[in-house]
Amino acid sequence: MHRFQTTAVHAGRDDFGALCVHAPPLDLSTTYPIADLAVGSASFDALVGGGATAANPIYARLHNPTVARAEAAIAALEGTEACVAYASGMAAMTAVLLARAQHGKHVLVVRPLYGTSDHLLASGMCGLEAEFVQADEIAARRRADTALVVIETPANPTLQLVDIRAVAAAAGEVPVLVDSTFATPVLQRPAEFGAAYVLHSATKFLGGHGDVIAGVVCCDEAHAAPLRTVRAATGALLHPLAAYLLHRGLPTLKLRVEAAQANAQVLAQRLQQHPAVARVFYPGLAGAHGAQLVGRQMRGPGCLMAFELHGGHAAAAAVMAAVKVMTPAVSLGSVDTLIQHPAGLTHRMVDDAVKAATGITPGLLRLSVGIEDVEDLWDDLAQSLAVASASVE
């Protein structure tokens, strides 16, 4: 068993020697020749039934070698038996819900979480009844038909941390899904604390360069097989070019996360002292929600933060318009710093009362810190906050 950084560089490359290649091969085939019909039929049954491999890939919707290598690499980083990749993080979330719908129609969900995940669950469009609860209510609200518990930690956008081990214990035999996108396996490996499913919007840190949309679910093989069956039936496959880019980004994951985290710690502390800022949400600050889990569940406070401005929506809009180095855009986890307005963008579909109850106020901005020079980032924040303060006086 290698250490994390060595695994990040070498995982998913086991067949490179036999192929006599150094860079990951990119297989763009949509279909594969079938020399023996009996082998082809058996392969079809195996893959449609959720198998990870077969003698013949048959068709790219069922299996692709480039995708499989990226899956193997991410599973190694998360410490799970398997990883199943999808065309987006939301496709991955949908696949888990559809797979668990065979076991019951009730899902327990802890807010806050990504706005589209919240909308998908609240809408019931996957045929499931989502009940939104506090983490300490899970054991009491669990029912005979509860099929899944869903949490996101750190939570989007207010960075609240949830104790995964405590949630898994409260869930009992019900599997727990943890959206660990903000943490990455560099800082947190939820399977070690009892999570059955570890979900990532791989568009974010795992890809890391703003040029790939992808989602993954890491889990044991028993949970992975139904996910592959759902993927085959719904066509939510990850394109091999996206898988190639995803795999290529993994060797620098730890380096990127640690550099961005160091920047985030500086910015959070300075923002906390700025007169235009009412509150900073960051797990690395004293008194942050769940801060006691940093060092126990998370190996660091991460690269994301949110901060609330005294001037409300007008001030938030002014900051987004004034930044010069940072990019005003949704998404996160790229090498460059992104700033966005959750209430007006990523969480716009969430009910206004829910936004208010979970701290998603009109003056809240979410910052995904990149790897630029921290002093340039602070200069940009300081000048944009000055512009915002002047505009709302």
Name the active-site residue from 32, 86, 114, 244: 114
Q: Tell me the H-state helices in the chain.
A: 4-10, 16-19, 37-48, 65-78, 89-100, 115-123, 138-141, 164-171, 184-187, 221-234, 240-249, 253-272, 312-322, 352-357, 374-392
Tokens of 238: 């990850």
The tokens for 304 are: 């994301």
Q: Which of 69, 100, 142, 204 is catalytic?
A: 204
What span, in angstroms and rounded, lies between the C-alpha atoms of 152 and 160?
9
Q: From CA 199, how far away is CA 197, in angstroms rounded?
A: 6
Paired with 364 in beta bridges are: 308
Q: Does residue 179 carry a catalytic annotation?
A: yes
**How far are the Cα atoms of 4, 257, 270, 344 from residue 307, in angstroms, in the given order?**
32, 20, 11, 15
Q: Is 204 a catalytic residue?
A: yes
How far apart (Å, rounded) are the C-alpha atoms in residues 349 and 316? Answer: 19
Tokens, residue 338 = 């992104």
Among 179, 197, 254, 299, the active-site one is 179
Q: Which of 61, 142, 254, 256 is catalytic?
A: 61
Is 114 one of the catalytic residues? yes
- 105 catalytic, yes or no? no
Residues involved in catalysis: 61, 114, 179, 204
